[in-house]
Amino acid sequence: MSQPPETEGDHAGQPAPPAARNPTGPETRSLPRGHAAPNVGAAYARLAPFYDLWAGFTETEALAALLALAGPRDGERTVDVGTGTGRLLGELARRNPSGTNVGVDLSPAMLREARRRLDRSAPAGACFLVEANACALPFAAARFDLACSSFMLDLLPEEDLAVALGELLRILRPGGRLALASFARGPRWYHGLWSWIAKHLPAVLTGCRPVDPVPHLRRLGAEILAQRPVSQHTFPSCVVVARRPA
Ligand SMILES: C[S@@+](CC[C@H](N)C(=O)[O-])C[C@H]1O[C@@H](n2cnc3c(N)ncnc32)[C@H](O)[C@@H]1O
């Protein structure tokens, strides 16, 4: 894994932050907004070695739906924000071996797991990892054809949700696709149990709760292309694909 091309450009008129120059190095950017991010970092430092067990049980079907709806193509520039252990990033790279696939996460522990996975299984040279916050992405505008984020938005403080979605849209070229998978409310009684746990025992789910990005995306001017609810072993999620207006 090395430095992603063209991350050093302008970011909102500012020079690129250090994390963009040294994607997997020790620097940690200061977090611009929100309260949960430092706790999220600590939680995922503990969870990193075990995260794939939980994800394999509850999230893999949503990731498959996201990939099917987003349709990554070879030669594209893709980014996965909140990449975690790099599961989705690896799948993007398999479909896009001659393009560029960038994984972003604020947890160095999760990035280490991602690097292990990708060194083993991703096409050589197709993936790059960057330590950064979704609310201040270290990329110039309009750099990507496809931006993905799975099971990260549901961890963000409410006030950061629109900020992160705005960032995801900003880094997409006009007409580029945004593909999201998130913990959601579902129609069945057992889906309600997960919402109850999120509300009353938040530590069990590392603070994630059901979210609906669609109203935010509409406010930000994105066109909604698809919405697909998924339920895996009772866990409810929703995949949303949107387009940045041309
Ligand atoms: C539930 S895990 C999901 C990982 C991966 N996307 C997947 O679907 O397997 C959430 C990930 O988002 C990262 N994360 C949470 N808040 C973030 C933020 N503000 N910026 C970047 N990454 C964040 C966490 O460190 C963690 O790796």
Q: Delimit the domains of the chain by residue range.
A: 37-243
List, chain by chain if needed, residues with CB within 6 Å of any ligand 1 atom.
37, 40, 44, 55, 59, 82-85, 87-88, 104-107, 110, 133-135, 150-152, 155-156
Class of domain 37-243: alpha beta
Q: In a mutational test of the pocket of ligand 1, which residue from 155, 161, 183 has the highest number of ligand atoms less than 8 Å from its CB? A: 155
pLDDT tens for the 246 residues of the chain, in order: 444 555 533 333 333 333 333 333 323 333 344 444 557 778 787 787 777 888 888 899 999 999 999 999 999 999 999 999 999 999 999 999 999 999 999 999 999 999 999 999 998 889 999 999 999 999 999 999 999 999 999 999 999 999 999 999 999 999 999 999 999 999 999 999 999 999 999 888 888 999 999 999 999 999 999 999 999 999 999 999 999 988
Which atom of ligand 1 has the smallest separation from the CA of 63? 8
Q: What SS3 state is found at 173? A: strand
Judge contact between 118 and 150, C-beta under 8 A. Answer: no
What pTM does this model have? 0.86
Q: How far apart are CA 26 and CA 18, in angstroms?
A: 10
